């Protein structure tokens, strides 16, 4: 699917589900890593993660576009367009959109805890994705020194 086809799909979804025109551009952005898509407040454009299309197909892209169109239309109308706003949640339910995309959930599941640490005093161990400076941090339970396993 090209960016032009994505824009046409977005215009079609907007007309069908929202009964409103989508006057901006929709494009794929492969730099998106942790999200399926985003609505750009400054430009009005919508960007979609191409991995969503590759991994899950057209229906996943449609769900992402519905979510981003909720942000789009509410923002242009001057209403609550953020996730926590009631107007956003109500519109998302009405168009049968989803709050989270599958690609984001899979990304979170794939993240592995690469570093394991233990307290030298109380022997409590824990895992972290990022490396800790063991000279700077101490055990939360007993204030003992940490060691990398």
Q: Give the residue numbers marked as catalytic.
A: 68
Number of Cβ within 10 Å of residue 12's Cβ equals 13
The angle at the Cα of 100, spanning 12 to 17, to the nearest 5 degrees, equals 25
Query: CB-hemisphere CA count at 13 Å for 20?
Result: 13
Contact (CB, 8 A) for 94 and 69: no
């Amino acid at each position: 699917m090209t960016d032009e086809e994505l824009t046409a799909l977005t215009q079609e979804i907007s007309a069908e589900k929202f009964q409103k025109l989508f006057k901006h551009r929709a494009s794929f952005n492969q730099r998106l890593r942790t999200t399926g898509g985003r609505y750009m407040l400054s430009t009005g454009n919508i960007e979609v993660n191409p991995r969503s299309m590759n991994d899950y197909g057209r229906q996943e892209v449609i769900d992402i576009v519905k979510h981003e169109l909720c942000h789009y239309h509410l923002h242009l109308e001057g209403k609550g367009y953020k996730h926590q706003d009631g107007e956003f949640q109500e519109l998302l339910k009405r168009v049968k959109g989803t709050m989270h995309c599958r690609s984001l959930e899979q990304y979170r599941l794939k993240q592995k805890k690469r570093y394991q640490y233990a307290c030298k005093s109380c022997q409590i161990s824990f895992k972290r994705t990022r490396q800790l400076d063991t000279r700077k941090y101490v055990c939360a339970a007993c204030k003992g020194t940490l060691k990398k396993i």
